[in-house]
Structure formats: C-alpha cells, structure tokens
Amino acid sequence: MLTLEKFEEATEVVKKVILETKLVYSDYFSEQTGNKVYLKPENMQFTGAYKVRGSYYKISTLTDEERAKGLITASAGNHAQGVAYAAKLFGVNATIVMPTTTPLMKVNRTKGYGAETILFGNVYDEACNYALQLAKEKGYTFIHPFDDLAVATGQGTIAMEIIKELPTVDYILVPIGGGGLATGVSTLAKLLNPKIKVIGVEPANANCMQVSMKNKKVTTLPNVNTIADGTAVKTPGSKIFPYIQKNIDDIITIDDEELIVAFLDMVENHKMIVENSGLLTVAALKHLEAKGKKIVSILSGGNMDVITMSSIVQHGLIQRDRIFTVSVLLPDKPGELVRVADIIAKQQGNVIKLEHNQFVSINRNAAVELRITLEAYGHDHKVQIVQALKDNGYDPKFLQANP
C-alpha cells in the first residue's frame, strides 16, 4: 500500500541523494496561459532526472541478501542512471538493459556510474523482457522502473516538496511513461489535499495509460512512435494501475511537434535544457482548461544528447517561421543577385544560405533559379520579406526548409 507514512519515510531517505529543486516561477508561461505557472526542475538532479528518487528508495528497502545478488533493470536511460548511481552508493553491482535507440549520452553516463550496460530491443518493453530473462537466469534482483510500489513511493517525494513549497497549488502536471511517477505524485497529492488536480501527460503516439484508462484495464499498444524516448512505453504498470485510476484526474496527449516548440521556449525563456519527455508538461499548459490557477509542471529530466538537441532547435526555428526557404526566378545578368540581396537587407532579413541554379531553364536570359534560406523574427517578419520581393517584381515560392 502507498501510505502517508511510507511517503514520509521515503522523503527522509532520498534527501541523502537528491539535489534541492526549488520551484521556478515562469513569467513567460504564466502570461501565455493566464495562470500562475511554476516549474519543478527535476532536470537539475545530479543524474539529470527524478528517477534517482525511486531507485535509491527501492534499493534501501532491499535486504542485504537481495542487494548482494546484484541488481538488474531495464530503462530508456533515466531509470538506468538512477539505479546505476544508487547501486554505486550502496556498493553493489548493477546491470542495465537499454533499448538500442537510447541516446548515446544516457548510455555513457550509465556506464560512468559503474554499471554494466546491455543494448537490446528497439523499445523499452523489449529491453524489459530481456532483463527479466537475465534476472531469472542469473539470480539478479530486478528493479522495475515504474511497476513497483516502493519505486513509485520514492518518485512521489516530488509531490511532498511541491506542496510544502506551494501549499495552495491547484494543478500538478506530471509526465506518464509507464506510470510510476504519476502514481507516486498523484497518490501523495490526494493524501495531502484531495482538492489538488493531478493531470497526466503522454505522447500522442505512446498513450498507453490513456488507452488503458479508457478500457478500464491495462492495455498494450501495438507500437509506439515518439521523440519522447523516456515515455515510449507500450504497456503501463499493472500494480500501479489502480492508483492511477483512483488519483489521476485527466490525461492530456501531446504531439511531437509541440515538444519541439516547447524545447525552444524553455531554452530561450528559462535557459534550461529539458528532454522531450520532460517537456510534455510544458506543452500541456496550453491544453489545460484553467485560468487564474496555480499550476506546477514537473520537468522530469534533462538528459538530451547534443545531436538531438541541434536537430530539435533547427526544426523548432522552421516551425516558428524563423527559418524559411524561398525560390525566385530572375534573369541571368550582372546585378540581379545584388538586387535581391538588397531587398532582403532593407527588410532586416538575414540570408543564411544561397543556391544559384543556372540550369532550371534552357533560356537563361529569361530565368535562373535562386533558392534563399533566410532567418526572420517570426511569421509576421517572414510575410514582410516575401511581400517586399513581390513588390519588386519577383514571384517567390515557398520551399521546404532543410535544417
């Protein structure tokens, strides 16, 4: 059972290993939503995510014999680091099975804490089945990333901190993968104040908990496809499912495109790196039908590799019309390129790439193609630049911008 006494015990235990993550008030998101929005920055934990809470508390409840057997788990990255780090503190061996799609940074950090890492399967569920097989064969003690009441209790310590710091909180937004974090946070929140609304947030293409809630039973999705790798789970936890049914007030789903924009918002307005799964609760703010409420978005982690980060930034700029590409046809004669560049410069547009194709037509005097990739301040500025080209006799055509 998840009891208040257990949550209080876990809160004292995890204090030994966590960093203090004070709420951050967001002027930007508050203004955007008409609410008072606070961020719970678990991306700032030592391991880069909240997962160390549940891992450390779970291991603390094991017997010496269970720990001596060696630990094993499966994870897309953050639970892996949590178990590896906690195991190192307890002085026990840990084996981590990770999907082959896990970002390299998460794999390397897990190894850095001294754990043996095995890459297996394309999604978490496949890695988990293999880890369970190894546990049976070699006698390891399995630490489930979410379908474990002790792990969920450790994760729920986040709610204790939120409510102590902001007793009048109205809504807590929590990411859902398998459901461990949502179970702990929602159960403790309701124990402390039943009036608090706890909203789960899932990727639209990995909404196993939403489907399970609708079916009133644990349901496995045929497949998952999302950039939020930490929440790419096909089957939610069965042990924790009754707690989710009882304590989660609603579930919001988020498209991947929304996470891309949310990443830009966090970097530009809060100077914080938050991984895609952690951005679910930020993207969900605009879907919440609430005004004038105190809302806490849990930023569950910040473990994102640089290549992924670069790609998301580029796609985000394109989505927001801050980078775009146009094609214009112009005569192949001296001065035409300078003329186009001058029009763009007068509108404060910044050219970042040019492609000049003389072979688009056999009549080069009539038309050569100039493809221009530009940086703008946003949609209105983009429209202004394009209109200036039209006013000067050109007929710009929009092309797909390549990040």
Domain boundaries, the chain: 4-50+149-316, 53-142, 321-399
Both tokens of 88, joined, read 């190192």
319 or 176: which leads in pLDDT: 176
Query: Does residue 203 register a pLDDT over 80?
Result: yes
Q: CA dist 375 to 264, 313, 345, 382, Å?
A: 16, 13, 11, 8
- From the DSSP assignment, how many helices (H) and strands (E) are in the chain? 17, 14
pTM: 0.87
Looking at domain 53-142, its CATH architecture is: 3-Layer(aba) Sandwich (3.40)
Whether 358 shows a pLDDT value over 90: the answer reads no
Q: Which of 337, 402, 324, 326 minimizes the C-alpha distance to 368? A: 337
Q: What's 401's DSSP letter?
A: P
CA–centroid distance for 301 within its chain: 7
Check whether 366 has a pLDDT greater than 80: no
Q: Catalytic residues, which ones? A: 51, 300
Region of 179 on the Ramachandran plot (φ > 0 left; ψ -120 to 50 alpha; else beta): left
Is the fold of 4-50+149-316 the same as that of 321-399? no
Give the per-residue pLDDT at 345.
Answer: 93
Spatial separation of the C-alpha atoms in residues 199 and 119, rounded to whole Å: 33
Please determine, for residue 361, whether its predicted confidence score (pLDDT) is greater than 70: no
- Decide which of 335 and 71 is more confident: 71
- Identify which of 170, 158, 166, 146 has the alpha carbon closest to the alpha carbon of residue 78: 146
pLDDT higher than 70, residue 197: yes
Q: For strands 323-330 and 397-399, give the pairing.
A: antiparallel
The percent of residues above 90 in pLDDT, for the chain, comes to: 79
Interaxial angle between packed helices 78-90 and 104-112, expressed in degrees from 0 to 180 and rounded to the nearest 10: 10
Range of weakest confidence among 156-165, 216-225, 246-255, 351-360: 351-360
Instruction: Assign domain 4-50+149-316 to a CATH class.
Output: alpha beta
CA-CA distance, 112 to 274, in Å (whole number)?
A: 21
Examine the pLDDT at 403 and tell me if it is beyond 80: no
Average pLDDT (233-240) is: 94
- SS3 call for 373: strand
Question: How large is the average pLDDT for residues 322-332?
Answer: 89
The tokens for 80 are 């892996």
State residue 364's pLDDT score: 58
Tell me the average pLDDT across 298-309. Answer: 89
Per-residue pLDDT tens over the stretch 147-158:
999 999 999 999
Written out in words, the top-level CATH class of the domain with range 321-399 is alpha beta
SS3 of 5, please? helix
CA distances from 390 to 16, 114, 344, 384, 395 (A): 64, 62, 11, 10, 6
